[in-house]
Protein backbone atom coordinates (compact mmCIF):
# COMPACT_ATOMS: atom_id res chain seq x y z
CA UNK A 1 0.00 0.00 0.00
CA UNK A 2 1.39 3.45 -0.89
CA UNK A 3 1.61 6.25 1.65
CA UNK A 4 -1.11 8.17 -0.20
CA UNK A 5 -3.57 5.32 0.28
CA UNK A 6 -3.24 5.43 4.08
CA UNK A 7 -6.10 6.97 6.04
CA UNK A 8 -5.67 10.70 6.24
CA UNK A 9 -5.44 10.91 10.00
CA UNK A 10 -2.52 8.44 10.03
CA UNK A 11 -0.61 10.27 7.30
CA UNK A 12 -1.00 13.61 9.08
CA UNK A 13 -0.02 12.01 12.38
CA UNK A 14 3.26 10.73 10.93
CA UNK A 15 4.04 14.13 9.44
CA UNK A 16 3.37 15.87 12.73
CA UNK A 17 5.56 13.39 14.61
CA UNK A 18 8.48 13.91 12.24
CA UNK A 19 8.10 17.69 12.42
CA UNK A 20 8.10 17.60 16.23
CA UNK A 21 11.21 15.42 16.30
CA UNK A 22 13.00 17.78 13.95
CA UNK A 23 12.26 20.79 16.14
CA UNK A 24 13.21 18.75 19.26
CA UNK A 25 16.72 18.19 17.92
CA UNK A 26 17.22 21.96 17.64
CA UNK A 27 15.91 22.79 21.12
CA UNK A 28 18.38 24.05 23.71
CA UNK A 29 17.85 23.71 27.45
CA UNK A 30 20.17 26.00 29.45
CA UNK A 31 21.36 24.56 32.74
CA UNK A 32 23.20 26.55 35.41
CA UNK A 33 25.70 24.67 37.60
CA UNK A 34 27.05 26.26 40.77
CA UNK A 35 29.44 25.00 43.44
CA UNK A 36 30.90 26.47 46.63
CA UNK A 37 34.68 25.91 47.00
CA UNK A 38 35.01 27.40 50.52
CA UNK A 39 36.17 24.24 52.25
CA UNK A 40 38.73 23.40 49.56
CA UNK A 41 40.08 26.95 49.85
CA UNK A 42 40.40 26.81 53.64
CA UNK A 43 42.04 23.37 53.53
CA UNK A 44 44.67 24.46 51.01
CA UNK A 45 43.37 22.16 48.26
CA UNK A 46 42.27 25.12 46.14
CA UNK A 47 43.50 28.66 45.55
CA UNK A 48 41.99 31.54 43.56
CA UNK A 49 42.98 31.10 39.94
CA UNK A 50 42.68 27.30 39.99
CA UNK A 51 40.28 25.72 37.54
CA UNK A 52 36.88 24.38 38.57
CA UNK A 53 35.07 22.31 35.97
CA UNK A 54 31.82 20.44 35.58
CA UNK A 55 32.38 17.14 33.82
CA UNK A 56 29.80 14.60 32.74
CA UNK A 57 28.48 12.20 30.15
CA UNK A 58 27.31 15.12 27.99
CA UNK A 59 30.93 16.33 27.77
CA UNK A 60 32.34 12.82 27.36
CA UNK A 61 33.80 12.85 30.90
CA UNK A 62 36.93 14.46 29.49
CA UNK A 63 38.02 18.06 30.01
CA UNK A 64 34.83 19.74 31.09
CA UNK A 65 33.38 23.22 31.20
CA UNK A 66 35.24 25.77 33.31
CA UNK A 67 33.17 27.57 35.93
CA UNK A 68 33.85 31.19 36.87
CA UNK A 69 33.43 33.28 40.02
CA UNK A 70 33.06 36.94 40.85
CA UNK A 71 36.25 37.86 42.75
CA UNK A 72 34.77 41.25 43.71
CA UNK A 73 31.90 39.67 45.64
CA UNK A 74 32.80 39.79 49.33
CA UNK A 75 30.30 37.10 50.38
CA UNK A 76 30.26 34.92 47.28
CA UNK A 77 33.74 34.96 45.73
CA UNK A 78 34.09 31.23 46.46
CA UNK A 79 31.00 30.35 44.43
CA UNK A 80 31.73 29.21 40.87
CA UNK A 81 29.08 28.80 38.19
CA UNK A 82 28.40 28.31 34.50
CA UNK A 83 25.35 28.12 32.28
CA UNK A 84 25.49 25.75 29.34
CA UNK A 85 22.98 24.60 26.73
CA UNK A 86 21.99 20.93 26.59
CA UNK A 87 20.49 19.78 23.29
CA UNK A 88 19.52 16.30 24.48
CA UNK A 89 15.82 15.53 24.64
CA UNK A 90 13.74 16.74 27.57
CA UNK A 91 13.61 13.98 30.19
CA UNK A 92 17.17 12.80 29.52
CA UNK A 93 19.07 11.83 32.67
CA UNK A 94 22.48 13.53 32.71
CA UNK A 95 25.33 12.52 35.04
CA UNK A 96 28.04 14.88 36.22
CA UNK A 97 30.58 15.79 38.88
CA UNK A 98 32.66 18.82 39.72
CA UNK A 99 36.42 18.70 39.21
CA UNK A 100 39.09 20.68 41.05
CA UNK A 101 42.15 21.54 38.95
CA UNK A 102 44.40 22.37 41.90
CA UNK A 103 47.76 20.55 41.71
CA UNK A 104 47.73 17.68 44.19
CA UNK A 105 44.00 17.88 44.89
CA UNK A 106 42.69 14.67 46.53
CA UNK A 107 41.16 11.95 44.36
CA UNK A 108 42.76 13.36 41.22
CA UNK A 109 40.62 16.46 41.58
CA UNK A 110 37.31 14.62 41.36
CA UNK A 111 34.75 15.34 44.06
CA UNK A 112 33.14 12.49 46.00
CA UNK A 113 29.67 13.85 46.86
CA UNK A 114 28.38 12.70 50.23
CA UNK A 115 24.81 12.88 48.96
CA UNK A 116 25.49 10.15 46.39
CA UNK A 117 27.92 7.96 48.37
CA UNK A 118 30.65 9.21 46.05
CA UNK A 119 28.74 8.38 42.88
CA UNK A 120 27.80 10.82 40.13
CA UNK A 121 25.35 13.66 40.60
CA UNK A 122 22.39 13.57 38.20
CA UNK A 123 19.92 15.94 36.60
CA UNK A 124 16.84 15.28 34.49
CA UNK A 125 16.60 17.82 31.67
CA UNK A 126 13.46 19.96 31.74
CA UNK A 127 11.94 22.40 29.29
CA UNK A 128 13.49 25.83 29.39
CA UNK A 129 16.14 26.99 31.81
CA UNK A 130 17.20 25.15 34.96
CA UNK A 131 19.25 26.60 37.79
CA UNK A 132 20.59 23.76 39.91
CA UNK A 133 20.82 24.28 43.68
CA UNK A 134 24.09 25.62 45.02
CA UNK A 135 26.10 22.76 46.51
CA UNK A 136 29.40 22.46 48.30
CA UNK A 137 32.20 20.61 46.53
CA UNK A 138 32.03 17.05 47.97
CA UNK A 139 28.83 18.19 49.75
CA UNK A 140 31.19 19.33 52.50
CA UNK A 141 30.18 22.61 54.21
CA UNK A 142 32.53 24.54 56.54
CA UNK A 143 30.72 23.19 59.60
CA UNK A 144 29.14 19.71 59.58
CA UNK A 145 26.05 19.39 61.78
CA UNK A 146 25.85 16.64 64.40
CA UNK A 147 23.14 14.01 63.93
CA UNK A 148 22.17 11.50 66.61
CA UNK A 149 21.60 8.22 64.76
CA UNK A 150 20.24 5.12 66.50
CA UNK A 151 21.53 1.80 65.14
CA UNK A 152 19.83 -1.47 66.10
CA UNK A 153 20.53 -5.09 65.24
CA UNK A 154 18.90 -8.41 66.15
CA UNK A 155 21.40 -11.07 67.27
CA UNK A 156 18.82 -13.82 67.89
CA UNK A 157 20.14 -16.19 65.24
CA UNK A 158 23.70 -15.90 66.55
CA UNK A 159 22.57 -16.37 70.15
CA UNK A 160 20.54 -19.50 69.40
CA UNK A 161 23.33 -21.10 67.38
CA UNK A 162 25.93 -20.32 70.05
CA UNK A 163 27.95 -17.88 67.97
CA UNK A 164 27.08 -14.99 70.31
CA UNK A 165 26.53 -14.92 74.08
CA UNK A 166 24.57 -12.17 75.77
CA UNK A 167 26.54 -10.63 78.60
CA UNK A 168 29.87 -11.92 77.28
CA UNK A 169 30.04 -11.17 73.57
CA UNK A 170 30.15 -7.66 72.17
CA UNK A 171 28.51 -6.09 69.12
CA UNK A 172 29.52 -2.72 67.68
CA UNK A 173 28.70 -0.54 64.68
CA UNK A 174 31.53 0.78 62.54
CA UNK A 175 31.47 3.13 59.58
CA UNK A 176 32.94 6.13 57.90
CA UNK A 177 31.43 8.36 60.60
CA UNK A 178 33.65 6.78 63.29
CA UNK A 179 36.70 5.82 61.26
CA UNK A 180 35.91 2.16 60.48
CA UNK A 181 37.70 1.05 63.63
CA UNK A 182 36.44 -1.06 66.50
CA UNK A 183 33.21 0.89 66.34
CA UNK A 184 30.67 2.20 68.82
CA UNK A 185 29.45 -0.35 71.38
CA UNK A 186 25.78 -1.36 71.26
CA UNK A 187 23.90 -2.66 74.29
CA UNK A 188 20.84 -4.82 74.94
CA UNK A 189 18.25 -4.91 77.69
CA UNK A 190 18.72 -8.24 79.50
CA UNK A 191 15.56 -7.62 81.54
CA UNK A 192 13.40 -8.11 78.45
CA UNK A 193 11.90 -11.56 77.89
CA UNK A 194 12.46 -13.91 75.00
CA UNK A 195 14.21 -12.80 71.85
CA UNK A 196 13.71 -9.13 72.74
CA UNK A 197 16.83 -9.38 74.91
CA UNK A 198 18.85 -10.19 71.79
CA UNK A 199 18.26 -6.75 70.24
CA UNK A 200 21.25 -4.43 70.58
CA UNK A 201 21.12 -0.69 69.96
CA UNK A 202 23.06 2.51 70.48
CA UNK A 203 23.26 6.14 69.46
CA UNK A 204 26.20 7.38 67.39
CA UNK A 205 26.97 10.99 66.53
CA UNK A 206 27.24 11.31 62.75
CA UNK A 207 28.67 14.56 61.41
CA UNK A 208 27.13 15.09 57.98
CA UNK A 209 24.72 17.28 56.05
CA UNK A 210 21.13 16.07 55.64
CA UNK A 211 20.90 13.67 52.70
CA UNK A 212 24.54 12.59 52.99
CA UNK A 213 25.10 8.91 52.31
CA UNK A 214 26.80 6.98 55.11
CA UNK A 215 28.25 3.46 54.98
CA UNK A 216 28.49 1.10 57.95
CA UNK A 217 28.52 -2.50 59.17
CA UNK A 218 27.90 -4.28 62.43
CA UNK A 219 30.72 -6.20 64.11
CA UNK A 220 30.39 -9.12 66.54
CA UNK A 221 33.36 -10.09 68.71
CA UNK A 222 35.67 -8.17 66.39
CA UNK A 223 34.45 -9.86 63.21
CA UNK A 224 32.58 -8.20 60.36
CA UNK A 225 29.08 -9.09 59.22
CA UNK A 226 28.35 -9.99 55.58
CA UNK A 227 24.82 -8.66 54.92
CA UNK A 228 22.91 -10.69 52.34
CA UNK A 229 21.06 -7.54 51.24
CA UNK A 230 24.29 -5.93 50.05
CA UNK A 231 26.05 -9.03 48.74
CA UNK A 232 28.44 -8.78 51.67
CA UNK A 233 29.14 -5.09 51.07
CA UNK A 234 28.52 -2.17 53.40
CA UNK A 235 25.11 -1.11 54.57
CA UNK A 236 24.17 2.50 53.78
CA UNK A 237 21.70 5.13 54.93
CA UNK A 238 21.02 8.76 54.14
CA UNK A 239 21.25 11.25 56.99
CA UNK A 240 17.82 12.58 57.81
CA UNK A 241 19.03 15.50 59.91
CA UNK A 242 18.79 15.66 63.69
CA UNK A 243 17.64 12.57 65.58
CA UNK A 244 17.18 9.48 63.42
CA UNK A 245 16.34 5.83 64.17
CA UNK A 246 17.41 3.27 61.56
CA UNK A 247 15.26 0.17 60.97
CA UNK A 248 15.96 -2.95 63.01
CA UNK A 249 17.88 -5.54 60.96
CA UNK A 250 19.24 -9.04 61.55
CA UNK A 251 23.01 -9.41 61.86
CA UNK A 252 24.17 -10.64 58.43
CA UNK A 253 20.51 -10.17 57.40
CA UNK A 254 20.18 -13.72 58.66
CA UNK A 255 17.26 -15.05 60.63
CA UNK A 256 17.64 -18.49 62.19
CA UNK A 257 16.27 -19.95 58.95
CA UNK A 258 19.26 -18.56 57.07
CA UNK A 259 21.93 -20.04 59.31
CA UNK A 260 23.55 -23.38 60.00
CA UNK A 261 21.85 -24.23 63.29
CA UNK A 262 24.20 -27.04 64.38
CA UNK A 263 27.66 -27.97 63.02
CA UNK A 264 27.07 -29.65 59.65
CA UNK A 265 29.35 -31.72 57.41
CA UNK A 266 29.47 -30.49 53.80
CA UNK A 267 31.27 -32.36 51.04
CA UNK A 268 32.74 -30.43 48.10
CA UNK A 269 33.20 -32.32 44.83
CA UNK A 270 35.27 -30.96 41.93
CA UNK A 271 35.77 -32.36 38.46
CA UNK A 272 38.94 -31.26 36.69
CA UNK A 273 40.90 -32.88 33.88
CA UNK A 274 44.63 -32.99 33.27
CA UNK A 275 45.60 -30.19 30.93
CA UNK A 276 43.11 -27.69 32.40
CA UNK A 277 44.64 -24.22 32.14
CA UNK A 278 44.12 -21.88 35.11
CA UNK A 279 43.77 -18.13 34.78
CA UNK A 280 47.42 -17.60 35.70
CA UNK A 281 48.60 -20.02 33.01
CA UNK A 282 49.14 -23.01 35.32
CA UNK A 283 48.40 -26.27 33.48
CA UNK A 284 46.90 -28.83 35.84
CA UNK A 285 48.75 -32.13 36.18
CA UNK A 286 47.32 -34.53 38.74
CA UNK A 287 50.76 -35.97 39.50
CA UNK A 288 52.34 -32.57 40.18
CA UNK A 289 49.66 -30.13 41.34
CA UNK A 290 47.39 -29.95 44.37
CA UNK A 291 43.83 -28.65 44.59
CA UNK A 292 42.37 -26.54 47.39
CA UNK A 293 39.12 -24.90 48.48
CA UNK A 294 38.95 -21.35 49.82
CA UNK A 295 35.82 -19.53 50.97
CA UNK A 296 33.97 -17.32 53.41
CA UNK A 297 33.30 -20.22 55.78
CA UNK A 298 37.09 -20.71 55.96
CA UNK A 299 37.79 -17.04 56.56
CA UNK A 300 39.23 -16.66 53.04
CA UNK A 301 42.75 -17.85 53.87
CA UNK A 302 45.55 -15.91 52.17
CA UNK A 303 45.96 -16.75 48.48
CA UNK A 304 49.25 -17.27 46.66
CA UNK A 305 51.14 -18.81 49.59
CA UNK A 306 52.16 -21.89 47.63
CA UNK A 307 51.18 -24.09 50.62
CA UNK A 308 54.34 -25.81 51.67
CA UNK A 309 53.64 -26.17 55.36
CA UNK A 310 51.26 -28.05 57.62
CA UNK A 311 48.36 -25.63 57.02
CA UNK A 312 47.66 -26.84 53.49
CA UNK A 313 46.07 -30.29 54.01
CA UNK A 314 43.07 -28.93 55.89
CA UNK A 315 41.96 -27.20 52.68
CA UNK A 316 43.24 -29.78 50.18
CA UNK A 317 41.00 -31.98 47.99
CA UNK A 318 41.79 -35.66 47.54
CA UNK A 319 41.37 -37.75 44.41
CA UNK A 320 38.38 -40.11 44.79
CA UNK A 321 38.31 -42.62 43.25
CA UNK A 322 42.08 -42.59 42.74
CA UNK A 323 42.99 -42.06 39.10
CA UNK A 324 39.69 -40.33 38.24
CA UNK A 325 39.20 -36.63 37.46
CA UNK A 326 37.06 -36.15 40.60
CA UNK A 327 38.38 -34.59 43.82
CA UNK A 328 36.61 -34.00 47.11
CA UNK A 329 36.93 -32.72 50.67
CA UNK A 330 34.48 -32.62 53.57
CA UNK A 331 34.36 -29.63 55.91
CA UNK A 332 32.51 -29.19 59.18
CA UNK A 333 30.63 -25.89 58.79
CA UNK A 334 30.16 -24.17 62.13
CA UNK A 335 26.84 -23.27 63.69
CA UNK A 336 25.99 -19.66 62.95
CA UNK A 337 27.50 -19.73 59.46
CA UNK A 338 25.22 -18.72 56.59
CA UNK A 339 23.52 -21.58 54.74
CA UNK A 340 24.95 -20.04 51.58
CA UNK A 341 28.64 -20.78 51.13
CA UNK A 342 30.74 -18.62 48.83
CA UNK A 343 33.90 -20.39 47.72
CA UNK A 344 36.50 -20.92 45.04
CA UNK A 345 38.86 -23.70 43.96
CA UNK A 346 42.59 -23.29 43.56
CA UNK A 347 45.54 -25.00 41.93
CA UNK A 348 48.51 -24.96 44.33
CA UNK A 349 47.00 -22.29 46.61
CA UNK A 350 46.78 -19.53 44.02
CA UNK A 351 43.69 -17.48 43.11
CA UNK A 352 43.56 -18.93 39.61
CA UNK A 353 40.19 -20.62 39.04
CA UNK A 354 38.44 -17.51 37.72
CA UNK A 355 38.70 -13.73 37.82
CA UNK A 356 38.92 -11.68 41.00
CA UNK A 357 35.84 -12.18 43.22
CA UNK A 358 34.24 -14.56 40.67
CA UNK A 359 33.14 -17.30 43.06
CA UNK A 360 30.84 -20.29 43.42
CA UNK A 361 27.82 -19.90 45.69
CA UNK A 362 25.79 -22.88 46.84
CA UNK A 363 23.30 -23.54 49.65
CA UNK A 364 23.29 -26.29 52.26
CA UNK A 365 19.90 -27.84 51.46
CA UNK A 366 19.67 -30.75 53.91
CA UNK A 367 17.52 -30.74 57.07
CA UNK A 368 19.14 -29.31 60.20
CA UNK A 369 22.32 -31.19 61.09
CA UNK A 370 22.11 -33.73 58.22
CA UNK A 371 25.37 -34.04 56.21
CA UNK A 372 25.13 -32.55 52.71
CA UNK A 373 27.04 -33.08 49.48
CA UNK A 374 27.21 -30.22 47.00
CA UNK A 375 26.51 -31.09 43.35
CA UNK A 376 29.72 -31.63 41.39
CA UNK A 377 31.51 -28.43 40.37
CA UNK A 378 33.67 -27.92 37.31
CA UNK A 379 36.89 -25.93 37.61
CA UNK A 380 36.15 -22.39 36.40
CA UNK A 381 38.19 -22.58 33.19
CA UNK A 382 36.66 -25.95 32.24
CA UNK A 383 33.82 -24.90 30.11
CA UNK A 384 31.34 -24.25 32.92
CA UNK A 385 31.96 -20.99 34.84
CA UNK A 386 31.67 -20.82 38.64
CA UNK A 387 28.09 -21.62 39.59
CA UNK A 388 25.81 -19.35 41.63
CA UNK A 389 22.65 -20.99 42.95
CA UNK A 390 19.45 -19.17 43.80
CA UNK A 391 18.21 -19.52 47.36
CA UNK A 392 15.30 -21.76 46.38
CA UNK A 393 12.99 -22.30 43.42
CA UNK A 394 13.02 -24.26 40.15
CA UNK A 395 9.59 -25.68 40.94
CA UNK A 396 8.72 -28.30 38.30
CA UNK A 397 5.89 -30.82 37.94
CA UNK A 398 6.36 -33.96 35.88
CA UNK A 399 3.90 -36.23 34.02
CA UNK A 400 1.67 -38.44 36.14
CA UNK A 401 3.00 -41.92 36.76
CA UNK A 402 1.73 -44.75 38.95
CA UNK A 403 -1.07 -42.67 40.42
CA UNK A 404 1.14 -39.75 41.48
CA UNK A 405 2.53 -36.55 40.01
CA UNK A 406 6.23 -35.95 40.74
CA UNK A 407 7.10 -32.44 41.91
CA UNK A 408 10.70 -31.27 42.31
CA UNK A 409 12.36 -28.03 43.39
CA UNK A 410 15.50 -26.56 44.92
CA UNK A 411 14.73 -26.55 48.63
CA UNK A 412 16.42 -25.62 51.88
CA UNK A 413 15.50 -25.40 55.55
CA UNK A 414 12.43 -23.26 56.29
CA UNK A 415 11.21 -23.56 52.67
CA UNK A 416 7.99 -25.55 52.26
CA UNK A 417 5.77 -26.54 49.34
CA UNK A 418 2.24 -25.13 49.51
CA UNK A 419 -0.92 -26.03 47.60
CA UNK A 420 -4.42 -24.69 46.93
CA UNK A 421 -7.20 -25.34 44.44
CA UNK A 422 -7.72 -21.82 43.09
CA UNK A 423 -4.94 -19.59 41.78
CA UNK A 424 -6.59 -16.33 42.83
CA UNK A 425 -8.33 -17.18 46.09
CA UNK A 426 -8.31 -19.56 49.02
CA UNK A 427 -5.75 -20.47 51.66
CA UNK A 428 -2.32 -21.83 50.79
CA UNK A 429 -1.74 -25.04 52.76
CA UNK A 430 1.68 -26.46 53.67
CA UNK A 431 2.38 -29.89 52.19
CA UNK A 432 3.62 -32.03 55.13
CA UNK A 433 7.20 -33.26 55.03
CA UNK A 434 8.45 -30.75 52.46
CA UNK A 435 10.50 -28.46 54.73
CA UNK A 436 14.15 -28.74 53.60
CA UNK A 437 13.08 -31.28 50.98
CA UNK A 438 13.36 -31.09 47.20
CA UNK A 439 10.76 -33.55 45.91
CA UNK A 440 7.37 -35.07 46.60
CA UNK A 441 4.81 -37.26 44.83
CA UNK A 442 1.36 -35.68 44.76
CA UNK A 443 -1.61 -38.10 44.51
CA UNK A 444 -3.18 -37.92 41.05
CA UNK A 445 -6.80 -37.75 42.20
CA UNK A 446 -8.01 -35.40 39.50
CA UNK A 447 -8.89 -31.73 39.63
CA UNK A 448 -6.63 -28.71 39.40
CA UNK A 449 -4.01 -27.86 41.97
CA UNK A 450 -1.66 -24.90 42.23
CA UNK A 451 1.71 -25.10 43.99
CA UNK A 452 4.21 -22.56 45.28
CA UNK A 453 7.27 -22.43 47.54
CA UNK A 454 7.28 -20.32 50.68
CA UNK A 455 10.21 -19.38 52.90
CA UNK A 456 9.17 -19.09 56.55
The alpha carbon of 447 is separated from its chain's Cα centroid by a whole number of angstroms, namely 43
Domain presence at residue 388: no
Q: Indicate yes or no: pTM above 0.95.
A: no
DSSP secondary structure code for residue 77 in this structure: T
Looking at the structure of the chain, the number of domains it has is 4
Instruction: Pick the closest to residue 38 from 53, 27, 48 (CA basis).
Output: 48
**Helical (H) or strand (E) element with 224:** strand 223-224
Residues in the chain: 456
Q: Which residues of 51-69 are buried (b: 16+ CB within 10 A; e: fewer)?
A: ebbbbbebeeeeebbebeb
Identify whether residues 25 and 132 lie together within a single domain.
yes
CB contact at 8 A, 29 and 124: no
Identify whether residues 29 and 134 lie together within a single domain.
yes
Distances (CA, A) of 161 to 157, 158, 168, 254, 260: 6, 5, 15, 12, 8
Identify whether residues 183 and 285 lie together within a single domain.
no
Q: Is the peptide bond before 379 cis (omega within 30 degrees of 0)?
A: no
Domain presence at residue 4: no
The alpha carbon of 193 is separated from its chain's Cα centroid by a whole number of angstroms, namely 34
Domain presence at residue 408: yes
The alpha carbon of 216 is separated from its chain's Cα centroid by a whole number of angstroms, namely 13
Identify whether residues 355 and 433 lie together within a single domain.
no
Q: Which of 139, 154, 181 is the last residue of a domain?
A: 139
Please write the tens of the pLDDT for every residue from 362-413. 999 999 999 999 999 999 877 666 788 999 999 999 999 999 999 999 999 9
Range of the domain at 81: 15-139
Please write the tens of the pLDDT for every residue from 238-290. 999 889 999 999 999 988 888 888 899 999 999 999 999 999 999 999 999 99
Cα–Cα distance measured from residue 213 to residue 218, given in angstroms and rounded to the nearest whole number: 17
Identify whether residues 111 and 177 lie together within a single domain.
no
Count of C-beta atoms within a 10 Å radius of residue 409: 21
Domain presence at residue 75: yes
pLDDT at 259: 86
CATH of residue 94:
2.60.40.10
Domain presence at residue 100: yes
Amino acid sequence: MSTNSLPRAVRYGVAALCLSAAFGLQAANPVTFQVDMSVQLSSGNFVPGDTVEVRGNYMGWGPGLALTNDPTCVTCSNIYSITTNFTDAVGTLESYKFWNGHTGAPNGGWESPASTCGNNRTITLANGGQVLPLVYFDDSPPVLPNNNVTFQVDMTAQVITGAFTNGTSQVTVSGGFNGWGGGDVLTNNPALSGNASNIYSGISVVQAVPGACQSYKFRANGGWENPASTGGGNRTFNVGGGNQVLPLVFYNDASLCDLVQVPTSVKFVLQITNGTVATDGTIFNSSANKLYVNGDFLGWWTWNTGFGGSEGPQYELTNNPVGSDTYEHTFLVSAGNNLSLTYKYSIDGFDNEAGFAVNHLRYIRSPVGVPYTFPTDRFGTNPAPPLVEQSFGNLVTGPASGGTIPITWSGRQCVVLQVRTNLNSGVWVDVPGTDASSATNWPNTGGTRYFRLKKN
